[in-house]
Amino acid sequence: MAKIRPETQLVHLGRNPTYTQKGVNPIIQRTSSVIFNTLEEKQHATRNRAKSVLFYGRRGTQTHFAFQEAMTELECGAGAVLYPSGAAAINNAILSFISSGDHILVTGSAYDPTQNFCDKILTKFNVDTDYFDPMIGANIAELIRPNTRIVFLEAPSSITMEIHDLPAIVNAVRQKSSDIIIMIDNTWAAGVLLKPLLLGIDISIQSATKYINGHSDGMLGVAVANERCIDTLRENSYLLGQTADPDTVYMAGRGLHTLATRLKQHEANGLAIAQWLEQQPEVDRVFHPALPSCPGHTFFVRDFNGSNGLFSFQLKSRLSQEQFESFLNHLNHFKMGYSWGGYESLILGYQKEDLLGMRQYDVNFNEGTLFRIHVGLEHPQDLIEDLKKAFERSQ
Ligand SMILES: *Cc1c(COP(=O)(O)O)cnc(C)c1O
Ligand 1: residues with CB < 6 A are 85-87, 111, 158, 185, 187, 207, 209-210, 219, 221, 339
Residues 6+ apart with CB under 8 A from 240: 92, 95, 96
The arrangement of strands across the sheet holding 221-225 comes to: 79-83, 221-225, 203-207, 181-185, 148-154, 103-107, 128-132
Report the Cα 206 to chain-centroid distance in Å.
4
Instruction: Say which amino acid occupies 242.
Output: Q
Examine the pLDDT at 40 and tell me if it is beyond 70: yes
Residue among 82, 90, 111 to mutate when testing ligand 1 (max atoms within 8 A of CB): 111
The answer to whether residues 326 and 394 touch, using CB atoms and an 8 Å cutoff, is yes
d(CA 295, CA 134): 9
Q: How confident is the model at residue 50 (pLDDT cuts 50, 70, 90)?
A: confident
User: Is 176 labeled as catalytic in the residue annotation?
Assistant: no
Strands 148-154 and 335-336: unpaired
User: Is 42 labeled as catalytic in the residue annotation?
Assistant: no
Examine the pLDDT at 3 and tell me if it is beyond 90: no
DSSP-assigned states of every residue in 165-190 = -HHHHHHHHHHH-SSPEEEEE-TTTT
Report the Cα 252 to chain-centroid distance in Å.
14
Convert the pLDDT of each residue in 353-379 to its tens digit: 999 888 888 777 789 999 999 999 999
Host H or E run for residue 277: helix 246-278
Distance 116 CA to ligand 1 centre (A): 13
Q: Tell if the pTM clears 0.85, that is, is over it.
A: yes
Q: Looking at ligand 1, which atom is closest to the CA of residue 210?
A: 1
Annotated catalytic residue within 15, 19, 83, 111:
111
Nearest CA to ligand 1 atom 8: 86
Q: How confident is the model at residue 2 (pLDDT cuts 50, 70, 90)?
A: low
User: Is 185 labeled as catalytic in the residue annotation?
Assistant: yes
- The helix/strand count (H/E) of the chain reads as 13, 12
156 upstream amide cis, omega within 30 of 0: yes
Examine the pLDDT at 231 and tell me if it is beyond 70: yes
Residue among 94, 112, 157, 209 to mutate when testing ligand 1 (max atoms within 8 A of CB): 209
Distance 18 CA to ligand 1 centre (A): 31
The DSSP code for 106 is E
Distance 137 CA to ligand 1 centre (A): 24
Sign of the dihedral through C-alpha 219, 224, 225, 230: positive
Q: Is 76 exposed, middle or buried (0-12, 13-18, 19+ CB in 10 A)?
A: middle
The answer to whether residues 64 and 83 touch, using CB atoms and an 8 Å cutoff, is no
The answer to whether residues 63 and 19 touch, using CB atoms and an 8 Å cutoff, is yes
Distance 111 CA to ligand 1 centre (A): 7
Q: How confident is the model at residue 76 (pLDDT cuts 50, 70, 90)?
A: very high
Query: What are the φ and ψ backbone dihedral angles of 340, each rounded to 5 degrees?
Result: 180, 180
167-184: average pLDDT: 97
Report the SS3 class of residue 172. helix
The gap between the terminal CA atoms of the chain, to the nearest Å, is: 59
Distance 115 CA to ligand 1 centre (A): 12
Nearest CA to ligand 1 atom 6: 86
Question: Which of 207, 186, 157 has its CA nearest to residue 75?
Answer: 186
Convert the pLDDT of each residue in 334-346 to its tens digit: 999 999 999 999 9
**Residue 261: count of CB within 10 angstroms of its CB:** 12
d(CA 381, CA 95): 45
Convert the pLDDT of each residue in 123-142 to its tens digit: 999 999 999 999 999 999 99
Widest CA span of the chain, in angstroms?
75
Q: Looking at ligand 1, which atom is closest to the CA of residue 208?
A: 7
The answer to whether residues 84 and 246 touch, using CB atoms and an 8 Å cutoff, is no
Report the SS3 class of residue 129. strand
pLDDT confidence of residue 365:
79
Query: What are the φ and ψ backbone dihedral angles of 181, each rounded to 5 degrees?
Result: -90, 125
The answer to whether residues 300 and 308 touch, using CB atoms and an 8 Å cutoff, is no
Residue among 92, 206, 207, 339 to mutate when testing ligand 1 (max atoms within 8 A of CB): 207
d(CA 51, CA 194): 26
d(CA 162, CA 253): 29
Distance 87 CA to ligand 1 centre (A): 6
d(CA 326, CA 82): 41
Annotated catalytic residue within 133, 165, 185, 386:
185
Residue among 116, 159, 163, 210 to mutate when testing ligand 1 (max atoms within 8 A of CB): 210
Q: How confident is the model at residue 1 (pLDDT cuts 50, 70, 90)?
A: low
pLDDT confidence of residue 176:
96
User: Is 338 labeled as catalytic in the residue annotation?
Assistant: no
Distance 378 CA to ligand 1 centre (A): 23
pLDDT confidence of residue 196:
98
Average pLDDT along the chain? 96
d(CA 327, CA 387): 8
pLDDT confidence of residue 240:
97
Share of the chain above pLDDT 90, in %: 95
Q: Looking at ligand 1, which atom is closest to the CA of residue 187?
A: 13
d(CA 237, CA 88): 10
Question: Which of 328, 310, 332 has its CA nearest to residue 319?
Answer: 328
Report the SS3 class of residue 64. helix
pLDDT confidence of residue 358:
87
DSSP-assigned states of every residue in 339-351 = ---SSS-EEEEE-
Annotated catalytic residue within 30, 47, 51, 58:
58
Convert the pLDDT of each residue in 117-128 to its tens digit: 999 999 999 999
d(CA 234, CA 391): 49
